[in-house]
């Protein structure tokens, strides 16, 4: 990098020694295996091999040190690395969230430091300089900070202490109890079955044969373990599930308070260990409302705010109202920027061919399995009436899967049992993916996934089986929405410090 603040250079040469020392323990662990392999040869051979391995290790470290260069330019940091695979990474200053300096015990021995350049991305090793001298680390930090000078640097330590905030949502003890009842887990059910399996030799029947423990076939084998006993086990498991759910909820949600303090939301919760999370409003990426079947009937739901991954408060989804009425949910939502409940009229269903696809996906495998099983056991045919049930569920599935784009907010609702509603200001979209499997291409459908910062891997906002033309149009709308969003410091993840 020419004309930059810090010219291209390598990290400190002692890094080679440092990394070698760091890797040594792993290599030493490998040595006993080596002994076992060549136990009949002499010591000298083993030492020779160890020496050769050490030399190779050092050589590799040296090569990677030689190939690793970094430079700080006027606008960006450039890091080049890789022995065989060459990689050249540029990190614009505007995207740098923080420059961390880390020093492990080994670093201190050598008087070095590891510089970690954090951006809003989710990868851990975004920009790591391992290792430079402490003075150099400071220089890099200063250079990057200077490069960012256009932005107002808000130092976390120097921000003014604000007065007591305004209470947005709190849970009364009664509410916590009520919430606890719905948090029962069926893990215990599985646990008890697992236990039964473990102590199988002690139980006078064959647990591995499902036909027997359902009581369909071979009645007398079940005699040792009566249906009543089964019921008792089931009840105990359910009770355990409810009690643990209650205890867990009490411990985590007791005295839940969400207060609004200017630009931030403060969240306090917990019985014995009070935890406190501060959510800067402008870091809120989207809202997610989740509710189970029972809770929905009673009019309660849980509201989450999803925040950026980077930052001290931790990212991901934070429950900001674990058990709230619609009214309370709307009130808490109002605390976020550009978040609102959807109008019923804005929500649309996905393509009617969604039913066909989900029917094929849900029912095809069980149907085939039943037919195949009926070759061996004609009783299997009794399971056939279950298939229409599955088909019916795919009809319902389409009824509950809704989406809508209202101005700059995308709404997606999904889930048969556990319903989820995403409220996603499209300016926060990071990438949009349109995916079409073979079956979807035959049916002219597409699945649209909107990726956001801090989203859990498996639970991103997804619209399944849109009509292809619709999906394309929606994709274009979202892209236009992101582009049209005025460059604002608060909304762009990279520009938040």
Partner 1 sequence: MMLVGSVIRTLLVLAAASLGAAALHKNPGVAPAMVLVPLLVLLIYPTFVSPVRRYRAWGYRMDEEELRLAHGIYTQVETLVPLKRVQHLDISQGPLERSFGVCKLILHTAGTAHSRVVLPGLSRETAEAMRGEIRSHIRQEIE
Radius of gyration, alpha carbons of the chain = 30
Report CA-CA distances (Å) from 269 to 76, 275, 306.
Answer: 41, 6, 18
Q: Please say whether the beta carbons of 321 and 436 come within 8 A.
A: no
| Under rule CB under 8 A, residue 91 binds partner 1 | yes
Distance between CA 171 and CA 193 in Å, rounded? 36
Of 156-164, 196-204, 317-325, 449-457: span binding partner 1 (CB under 8 A): 449-457
Candidate list 12, 95, 290, 398; residue touching partner 1; CB under 8 A: 95
- In the complex with partner 1, the residue whose CB is nearer, 23 or 98, is 98
CA atoms within 13 A on the CB side of 407: 9
> Which residues contact residue 245 at a Cβ distance below 8 angstroms, ignoring those fewer than 6 apart?
180, 181, 182, 183, 184, 185
| Under rule CB under 8 A, residue 307 binds partner 1 | no
Beta strands in 110-248 (DSSP E): 112-119, 128-133, 166-170
Distance between CA 328 and CA 182 in Å, rounded? 18
| Residues 102 to 131 in contact with partner 1, rule: CB under 8 A | 119-123, 126-127
Helix (H) or strand (E) holding 398: helix 386-400
Candidate list 418, 456, 469, 490; residue touching partner 1; CB under 8 A: 456
| Under rule CB under 8 A, residue 138 binds partner 1 | no
Least distance (Å) between residue 142 CB and partner 1: 20
3-state secondary structure of 426: helix
The alpha carbon of residue 462 and the mean position of all alpha carbons in its chain are separated, in whole angstroms, by: 15
Least distance (Å) between residue 374 CB and partner 1: 31
Least distance (Å) between residue 238 CB and partner 1: 35
Least distance (Å) between residue 153 CB and partner 1: 14
The interface mask with partner 1, positions 252-291, x = CB under 8 A, is ----------------------------------------
Helix (H) or strand (E) holding 479: helix 468-484
Q: Please say whether the beta carbons of 144 and 138 come within 8 A.
A: no
Candidate list 39, 85, 161, 275; residue touching partner 1; CB under 8 A: 85
| Under rule CB under 8 A, residue 482 binds partner 1 | yes
- In the complex with partner 1, the residue whose CB is nearer, 222 or 453, is 453
Please report, as ranges, the residues that interact with partner 1 according to CB under 8 A.
Answer: 75-76, 82, 84-92, 94-95, 119-123, 126-127, 150-151, 308-310, 429-438, 441, 449, 451-457, 460, 475, 478-479, 482-483, 487, 492-495
């Amino acid at each position: 990098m020419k004309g930059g603040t810090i010219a291209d250079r390598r990290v400190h040469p002692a890094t080679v020694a440092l990394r070698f020392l760091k890797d040594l323990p792993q290599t030493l662990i490998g040595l006993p295996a080596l002994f076992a392999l060549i136990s009949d040869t002499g010591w000298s051979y083993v030492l020779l091999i160890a020496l050769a391995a050490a030399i190779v290790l050092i050589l590799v470290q040296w090569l990677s040190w030689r190939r690793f260069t970094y430079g700080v330019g006027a606008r960006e940091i450039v890091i080049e690395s890789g022995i065989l695979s060459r990689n050249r990474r540029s990190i614009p200053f505007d995207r740098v969230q923080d420059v961390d300096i880390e020093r492990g015990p080994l670093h201190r021995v050598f008087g070095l430091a590891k510089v970690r350049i954090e951006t809003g991305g989710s990868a851990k090793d975004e920009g790591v300089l391992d290792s430079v001298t402490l003075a150099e680390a400071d220089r890099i930090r200063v250079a990057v900070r200077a490069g960012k000078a256009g932005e107002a640097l808000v130092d976390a330590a120097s921000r003014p202490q604000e007065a007591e905030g305004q209470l947005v949502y709190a849970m009364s003890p009664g509410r916590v109890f009520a919430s606890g009842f719905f948090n029962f887990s069926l893990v215990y059910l599985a646990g008890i079955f697992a236990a039964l399996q473990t102590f199988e030799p002690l139980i006078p029947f064959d647990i591995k044969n499902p036909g027997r423990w359902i009581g369909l076939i071979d009645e007398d084998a079940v005699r040792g373990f009566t249906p009543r006993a089964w019921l008792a086990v089931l009840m105990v498991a359910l009770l355990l599930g409810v009690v643990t759910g209650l205890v867990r909820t009490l411990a985590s949600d007791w005295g839940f308070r969400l207060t609004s303090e200017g630009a931030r939301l403060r969240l306090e919760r917990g019985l014995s260990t009070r935890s406190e999370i501060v959510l800067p409003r402008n870091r809120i990426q989207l809202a997610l409302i989740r509710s189970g079947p029972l809770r929905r009937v009673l009019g309660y739901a849980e509201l989450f705010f999803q925040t950026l991954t980077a930052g001290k408060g931790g990212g991901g989804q934070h429950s900001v109202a674990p058990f709230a009425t619609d009214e309370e949910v709307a009130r808490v939502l109002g605390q976020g920027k550009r978040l609102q409940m959807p109008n019923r009229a804005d929500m649309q269903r996905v393509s009617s061919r969604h039913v066909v696809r989900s029917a094929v996906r849900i029912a095809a495998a069980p149907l085939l399995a039943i037919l195949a099983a009926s070759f061996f056991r004609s009783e299997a045919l009794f399971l056939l009436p279950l298939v229409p049930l599955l088909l019916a569920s795919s009809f319902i599935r389409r009824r509950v899967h809704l989406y809508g784009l209202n101005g700059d907010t995308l709404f997606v609702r999904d889930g048969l049992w556990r319903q989820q509603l995403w409220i996603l200001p499209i300016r926060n979209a990071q990438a949009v993916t349109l995916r079409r499997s073979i079956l979807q291409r035959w049916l002219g459908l597409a699945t649209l996934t909107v990726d956001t910062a801090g989203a859990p891997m498996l639970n991103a906002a997804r619209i399944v089986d849109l009509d292809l033309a619709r999906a394309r149009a929606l994709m274009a709308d979202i892209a236009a929405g992101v582009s049209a969003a005025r460059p604002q410091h608060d909304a762009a993840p990279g520009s938040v410090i």
